[in-house]
């Protein structure tokens, strides 16, 4: 089954305590990305990756890092979380092959930073 | 920069009634157009997409959308809503060219279905 998985699904942390949210896909997709969802703002892209070792900033990259050492994994790193990073985070993946590409989303990670 | 507007934050309809969710986009050329649905506690699921050709697009769960170039709109419709359609709906656009092809989302429309 085509799947994007994220862990953890829920996380409560404190300001400044580094955390990592993992993302993995089993579809051999080249393109992966991270979004945050906030009420009234829809989804905004944080970072994306076109392939292994190729990453780039999205619309709201401040305070986040990513890495793409393997094709299937795309972790999101918050080196020093702050309360304004409290949000719902989604990982997504898709292929880069023409008009049939569909973006698949993970189930989301709800993060609360105190 | 491309943008997507969903003018209705919240819509309430009765079960069995028809539904139309509005989406307008601002972009230099016709982009790829998508509708996603997010059920409570779930990720986003693609309902339908438009790339080219017939401007009336059929999707899953009985949804359809019509692309109107003159109005820069891509409204989502369903003739008879079911209680299970209660969810949040997002319109999204992506440029035709460039492999990065970032999705830009609207702010969403929350749908409530009354019994």
Instruction: Please state the three-class secondary structure of chain A as a single string.
Output: CCCEEEECCEEEECCCCCEEEEEEECCCCCEEEEEEEECCCEEEEEEEEEECCEEEECCCCCCCEECCCCCCECCEEECCCCHHHCEEEEEEEECCCHHHCCCEECCCEEEEEC
Mean pLDDT, chain B, whole residue set: 91
- B60–A contact, CB cutoff 8 A: no
Q: Which of B89, B99, B110 to mutate to test the interface with A (most CBs of A within 10 A)?
A: B99
Are A56 and A64 a contacting pair, CB within 8 Å? no
Phi, psi of B114 (to 5 degrees): -90, 140
Q: What is the pLDDT of residue A13?
A: 96
Weakest-pLDDT range from A22-31, A92-101, B12-21, B71-80: A92-101
Record: contact B43-A43, CB cut-off 8 A: no
Q: What is the pLDDT of residue A103?
A: 84
In chain A, whose CA is at the least distance from the CA of B99? Answer: A96
Q: What is the pLDDT of residue B27?
A: 81
Record: contact B9-A40, CB cut-off 8 A: yes
Q: How far is A16 from chain B (nearest CA, A)?
A: 27
Q: What is the pLDDT of residue A98?
A: 60
Confidence bin at B97 (pLDDT 50/70/90): low
Record: contact A58-B102, CB cut-off 8 A: yes
- A50–B contact, CB cutoff 8 A: yes
Q: Running DSSP on this structure, what letter comes out for residue B71?
A: G
- Distances in Å between the alpha carbon of B28 and those of A8, B2, B96, B102, B105? 39, 8, 11, 15, 16
Q: How far is B49 from chain A (nearest CA, A)?
A: 9
Q: What is the pLDDT of residue B100?
A: 61
Confidence bin at A99 (pLDDT 50/70/90): low
pLDDT at A2 over 80: yes
Q: What is the pLDDT of residue B101?
A: 65
pLDDT at B48 over 80: yes
Confidence bin at B41 (pLDDT 50/70/90): confident
- Is cis: bond before B103, omega within 30 of 0? no
* Nearest-5° Cα angle at B105, A73 to A72: 10
Q: Which of A4, A43, A107 sits opposite B90 (nearest CB)?
A: A43
Confidence bin at B34 (pLDDT 50/70/90): very high
Q: What is the pLDDT of residue B47?
A: 95
- A28–B contact, CB cutoff 8 A: no
Record: contact A105-B100, CB cut-off 8 A: no
Mean pLDDT, chain A, whole residue set: 93
Q: What is the pLDDT of residue A67?
A: 96
Region B80-105: what's the mean pLDDT? 85
Q: Which of A2, A24, A41, A42 to mutate to test the interface with B (most CBs of B within 10 A)?
A: A42
């Amino acid at each position: 089954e085509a799947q994007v998985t994220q862990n953890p699904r829920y996380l409560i942390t404190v300001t400044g305590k580094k955390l990592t949210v993992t993302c993995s896909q089993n579809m051999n997709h080249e393109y992966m990305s991270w979004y945050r969802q906030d009420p009234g703002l829809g989804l905004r892209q944080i970072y994306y990756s076109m392939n292994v070792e190729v990453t780039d900033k999205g619309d709201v990259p401040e305070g986040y890092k990513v890495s793409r050492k393997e094709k299937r994994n795309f972790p999101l790193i918050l080196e020093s979380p702050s309360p304004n990073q409290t949000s719902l985070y989604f990982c997504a993946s898709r292929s880069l092959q023409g008009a049939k590409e569909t973006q698949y989303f993970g189930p989301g990670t709800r993060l609360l930073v105190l | 920069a491309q943008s997507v507007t969903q003018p209705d934050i919240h819509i309430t309809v009765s079960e069995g009634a028809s539904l139309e969710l509005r989406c307008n986009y601002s972009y230099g050329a016709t982009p790829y157009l998508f509708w996603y649905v997010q059920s409570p506690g779930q990720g986003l699921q693609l309902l339908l997409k438009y790339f080219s050709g017939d401007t009336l697009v059929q999707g899953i769960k009985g949804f359809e959308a019509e692309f109107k170039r003159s109005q820069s709109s891509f409204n989502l419709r369903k003739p008879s809503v079911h209680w299970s359609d209660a969810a949040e709906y997002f319109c999204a656009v992506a440029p035709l060219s460039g492999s990065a092809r970032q999705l830009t989302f609207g702010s969403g429309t929350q749908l409530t279905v009354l019994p």
